[in-house]
Structure 1
Amino acid sequence: MKTIITIGRQYGSGGREIGKLLSEKLGIGYYDKELLRKAAQDSGLCEKVMESFDERPKSLLYSIAMDTYMFSLPGMGATDSLEQQVYLATFESIRRVAEEGSCVIIGRCADYTLADNENLLKIFITAPMEQRMERVSQRKELTRDKAKQLITRTDKRRASYYEYYSSQRWGQVDTYDCCIDSSLLGVEGTVEFIAKLVEMKEK
């Protein structure tokens, strides 16, 4: 039996690191930025354009500014939205990697995209703001105030993206199979905990 693990995460909670270590522990695929590269290759969209829209809410002004790019892409006309094409390309890549076998997928509405997959395990990683500020300030070499601003801005962006495309509440408990505060067990302890969940699910 294969298990597809999707991880939503508050910025600075360690969700990405947890996902990476979990994939290594279980010996399964890991997809984060890799999804963008795969989506770009499969769709013909520029990878830089994919990154520009990655987990970002709709931006009318930016979409208008990028409209001319659409005319250079085969099969796309004036009525197509570049942002929509990026989302659909990512959506298709998520579906493809899930079909290939067990894996960990970070963010990008993967839990919603794969909602009909019976092998899905939906995880959301949280942590107290103080701990997230400490992690981000060290990683990005920012003051605590600047780190908090970045955290707030990034979480707002992720929530807007998720809620726009899924019509579900980002971070709401009943949206996921399990919500975990990574500060309780630490990164490695959280990895062990999720690995146990996977083991129980596959029995």
Structure 2
Amino acid sequence: MNTIITIGRQYGSAGREIGYKVADKLGIKLYDREMLDRAAKESGLAEELFETHDEKPSSSFLYSLVMDTYSLGYSTAYSDMPINYKIFLAQYETIKKIASEGPCVLVGRCADYALEEFDNVLSVFIHADMDAKVKRISRLYDLTEGKAREQIHKTDKKRASYYNYYTNKKWGNAETYDACLDSSIFGIDGTADAILKLVETKESLKEVIL
């Protein structure tokens, strides 16, 4: 098995949990926030900057210049860029390095875009019915349904803006991904199983082609 799985996800769709189940069943590593830690170490940019800019829309140029003073020890290759571009490029390069090391699951951070030239990638987008997402977020974070709904709209708007800004694709659109799955229909285990089946199919087709 040499397939790399990228997972885009709506907030509250259980995308990360599903990713962990897939990674566990395949015996491979999942990278979520670990991507940020590694990108910070390899680029020399401060970890706090990656936290601040994580899957958020592009900062204003002025804000980037102000934040630039906090990017300690970064590579000279990034020195003439606004901080948001430095952060994105550092993550972009790290994602490619991780993918070149072998099969894994990568959650969010435009991983499907970074790896669009890799032929062993399965890109999946996980979405869910709003009511199901509201119930999940309310339960996980002890929020009222109104607050949960507000949090979902806010987070997904940020993720969409971030993805659409840095890629030539549209976040959440079916044509952007190899597969889109509704976790509120298939359930967490069912969605994970569906991804495993897609990986199996992709692997078998590759063998036939070879």
Aligned to 2:26: 26
CA distance in 2, matches of 1:190, 1:71: 41
Query: Are the counterparts in 1 of residues 46 and 72 from structure 2 also a CA contact under 8 Å?
Result: no
SS of the residue 1:6 aligns to: strand
CA distance in 1, matches of 2:99, 2:77: 27
Aligned residues: 203
Change (3 A) 1:77 1:50: closer
The share of aligned pairs that are identical, in percent, is: 50
Residue 184 (structure 1) shift: 1.2
Q: Read off the aligned partner of 2:22 and give its amino acid letter.
A: L
TM (normalized to structure 2)? 0.92
Aligned pairs (5 A) from 1:64-75: 64-70=65-71, 73-75=74-76
Aligned to 1:43: 43
TM (normalized to structure 1)? 0.95
Provide structure 2 residue ranges, at least 5 long, that are not aligned to the other structure. 205-210
Query: Are the counterparts in 1 of residues 21 and 192 from structure 2 also a CA contact under 8 Å?
Result: yes
- The runs of 4+ residues in structure 1 deviating greater than 4 Å are none
Q: Read off the aligned partner of 1:133 and give its amino acid letter.
A: V
Provide structure 1 residue ranges, at least 5 long, that are not aligned to the other structure. none
Residue 158 (structure 1) shift: 0.2
Aligned to 2:159: 158
Residue 183 (structure 1) shift: 1.1
Query: Are the counterparts in 2 of residues 122 and 177 from structure 1 also a CA contact under 8 Å?
Result: yes
Aligned to 2:208: none
Q: Read off the aligned partner of 2:39 and give its amino acid letter.
A: A
Residue 67 (structure 1) shift: 2.4
Cα deviation 1:27-71 (Å, max 9, x = unaligned): 111100000011011011111111111111112153233022247
Query: Are the counterparts in 2 of residues 71 and 78 from structure 1 also a CA contact under 8 Å?
Result: no
Aligned to 2:4: 4
Q: Read off the aligned partner of 1:59 and give its amino acid letter.
A: S
Residue 200 (structure 1) shift: 1.1
Residue 78 (structure 1) shift: 6.5
CA distance in 2, matches of 1:71, 1:32: 23
Q: Read off the aligned partner of 1:182 and give its amino acid letter.
A: S
Q: Read off the aligned partner of 1:136 and give its amino acid letter.
A: I
Change (3 A) 1:126 1:77: closer
CA distance in 2, matches of 1:148, 1:68: 36
